[in-house]
Amino acid sequence: MAAPTGSRTAAAALAPVGVVPAQSVPTTTTAAPAAAPTTAPAAAPTTAPAGRTTATTSLRRGLPRVPNGEPWPPKGLAPAAAPAVVVDPAAAPAVVVDPAAAPAVVVDPAAQEDHGLIAQPPAPVAGRAEAVAAAERSPSTTAPAVKTVPKPAAPKTAAAAADKPARAKAQAGLNGARTQGQWIKLVALLAVGAVAAAGILVLAARGVTTLPGVPAFLARYPGEYQLPAAAGSGFPWWAQWTHFMNIFLMVLIIRSGYQVRTQQKPPAFWTPKSGGKKISINLWLHQSLDILWLATGLIYVVLLFASGRWTRMVPTSWEVFPNALSALLQYMTLDWPIENGWVNYNSLQQIMYFIVVFIAAPLAAITGARMSEFWPKDAKKLNRIYPVEIARAVHFPTMLFFVLFILIHVFLVLSTGALRNLNHMFGGTDVVNWVGFWLFAATIAVTVAGWYAARPLVLALVAKPFGKVSSR
């Protein structure tokens, strides 16, 4: 039997916090929960008989609230107490609510008022005493306690730990870095593309040679022209030694330049003895190798003009251009021009050697000097005429040109009579034997040793006599 409205109001006022009377269930709106809490099935609550009681108990009055006033509260009758809702603890287990999964409950105030859920003023002492007495008459029944257990912190799992490297790799991919597998795929794609492009060029060049007038052009310009008698033949000892020094220094210059361009934190620093700006040990190595390379090139150029052999490197006739075009077409058809480097280069070789020695090398030196610490920073007019941005924009492509030239040069040397060509430059003879090959192998071994020796520990020992080496 449902309790009267007055009784329900009193029960709501006397009910503990967190317990809602069984008969007072307002209309609520709940948000979509992430996961519904799992609770054990509870037995139906046991409700004490709700007999109708008449409000005949007089209110207990206390002291007046104002001087010389009437006792408080005003004289009247206390409301009757409603029967308490009790649940057997053995049949109704405690409900554990997960705060993360519990849905948010929005209670309609109008529904609260209709069902008597609006908080009422504290009940008089007499009414509370009757409620306590009613509870003592049923000691075996107590109200269920609603326990809220905080959600424990989720422990770090192996999956979460393994996710960090994955996120790092993904971020590295976004920043432009590539993994080893990505580099392998890229190199493989480039190799396949290069082979396909080379095949297309060969077929196209062979088709060009069948066009009218092209065979006559190749016969008139075989790929080289007659040099002056002062050019001489062969390769003197100074050409062989400067060639060796050029290989050794150029490889280390390219390596150290790439390190300077890509380094994040230098392994060590170098400061001049006379004072100046502190630079990284890799930049010191790069600039030191540049000085040695320029000195080697200067010696070579001086001896080249002093000996009269400069005509082998510098074009002396306009026929160099049609002969260079003829040599290029012969290379593209894989019907290569006759090699006679002991006496004369073909015109395409002569033009490329001229560009390397007299254009690319000075360009690399000028742009490198502008980017170095030796450049005067206070020369405002000079810096405005020659800004460092131009030097940076030219220096790196020049290095790429050197790399491309070296690759093509070595390929042609090995594929157009390796033993004879190596004897020309390393053995100083035109015969075909293995002397030049073993000297070339020794050059490669020394260069590889220098590559591995160019480490911070060794560089610190070499750089220390010229300045101060520090870790930061």
Cβ contact 285:270 at 8 Å: no
CA 261, CA 282: separation in Å to the nearest integer?
10
The angle that helices 435-453 and 237-262 make with each other, rounded to 10 degrees, is 30
The DSSP-derived string for 30-81 is E---SSPPP-PPPPPPEE---------PBPPP--BSSTT--BSSPS-BPPPP
Rg from Cα positions in the chain: 48
Give the model's pLDDT for residue 446.
96
- Token output for 89: 């603890």
Phi, psi of 143 (to 5 degrees): -70, 140
Entry pTM: 0.61
Give the model's pLDDT for residue 51.
46
Residue pLDDT tens, the chain, 472 long: 444 444 443 333 334 433 334 343 344 444 444 444 444 444 444 444 444 455 567 777 888 878 878 887 887 776 665 555 555 545 445 444 454 444 444 444 444 444 444 444 444 444 444 544 554 454 444 444 444 445 555 444 444 444 555 554 444 444 456 788 888 999 999 999 999 998 999 999 999 999 999 999 999 999 999 888 878 888 999 999 999 999 999 999 999 998 888 888 888 898 888 777 888 999 999 999 999 999 999 999 999 999 989 999 999 999 999 999 999 999 999 888 888 889 899 999 999 999 999 999 999 999 999 988 888 888 888 889 999 999 999 999 999 999 999 999 999 999 888 999 999 999 888 888 999 999 999 999 999 999 999 988 898 899 888 888 888 7
Give the model's pLDDT for residue 287.
92
Give the model's pLDDT for residue 341.
86
Give the model's pLDDT for residue 375.
86
Phi, psi of 105 (to 5 degrees): -115, 125
Give the model's pLDDT for residue 292.
95
Cβ contact 135:31 at 8 Å: no
**H or E stretch at 106:** strand 105-107
Give the model's pLDDT for residue 471.
82
Give the model's pLDDT for residue 117.
41
Give the model's pLDDT for residue 33.
42
